[in-house]
A and B are shown apart, each in its own frame.
Chain A
Amino acid sequence: MTRLILLAVAVLALGGCADLGAKPWQRGTLARYDMQLDCDPVLAGLDDHIYFSKEASSGGRGFGGGGCGCN
């Protein structure tokens, strides 16, 4: 019985993991320009150049979606 209750509590606690992250309508802050990973194109270009010089490869920085949840 005690085990069953403990199991029930443990399973119910899993519900806490069901709601992680911002909902689509809560992404206003994430969608802000200054929240973008590459909000400064010059800086991003310099970073790319350094990366290319060091790693002999380039690209792979981009990904779909700007955090607004539109995609």
Chain B
Amino acid sequence: MRLIIAVLMLMSATAAGAAELPAALATYQGKLVYVDFWASWCGPCAESFPWLNRMQEKYGADLVIVGVNVDTDAGAADAFLKKHPARFDIVRDPAGRLPELYAIEGMPTSVLLGVDGSVLHKHSGFRAHQTAEYEAAIRAALPREEARK
């Protein structure tokens, strides 16, 4: 009986609460990171890239944008990047470990991670008329003196 309870307890213990950045993003520890999950086959992802480029340019001093590619076909991702150049970091995760960890519900999904690695903001999909909201979330997470500019 005790064994069963122990097994059940073990199974219910979930993975880390994302307080520490996962290994694939470890280089960004201590930074404000905007993680964008994208794939070559996802239309709205292509739409989001120019906006992500602008955000990286605008808030580059305090913010790192990381595009996590979930394509299983690296060639497709390369072709996409040629067509839609990214002026931000790209991390490839064909096994889908990062989207699994952050439990994303659609493509694209963006997760804003604070300097302590906690999830500050998360949104699914990319709609051009909502970019002001996305940017507001970034601004709210910036260090104070930067946000006032």
Residues of A within 8 A of B (CB): 1, 4-5, 8, 12, 23-28, 31-32, 68-71
Q: For chain B, which range describes its interface: under 10, 10 to 19, 20 to 34, or 35 or more residues?
A: 20 to 34
Contact partners of B96 in chain A: CB under 8 A: 23, 25-26
B100 sits at the interface (CB 8 A): yes
Q: Are A70 and B106 in contact (CB under 8 A)?
A: yes
A70-B107 in contact given A23-B100, A25-B99, A31-B41 (Cβ < 8 Å): yes
Q: Are A8 and B4 in contact (CB under 8 A)?
A: yes
Q: Are A25 and B39 in contact (CB under 8 A)?
A: yes
A5-B41 in contact given A24-B106, A28-B73, A70-B107 (Cβ < 8 Å): no
Q: Are A27 and B4 in contact (CB under 8 A)?
A: no
Docked CA distance A8–B70 (Å): 36
Contact partners of A8 in chain B: CB under 8 A: 4, 8
Q: Closest CB-CB distance, A48 to chain B, in whole Å? A: 25
Q: Are A25 and B44 in contact (CB under 8 A)?
A: no
B16 sits at the interface (CB 8 A): no
Q: Which of A8, A24, A25, A71 is most buried by chain B, counting CB atoms within 10 A of its CB?
A: A25
A68-B4 in contact given A24-B99, A26-B96, A31-B41 (Cβ < 8 Å): no
Q: Are A28 and B44 in contact (CB under 8 A)?
A: no
B1-24: contact bitstring with A at CB < 8 Å (1 yes, 0 no)? 100100010010000000000000
Contact partners of A68 in chain B: CB under 8 A: 41-43, 107
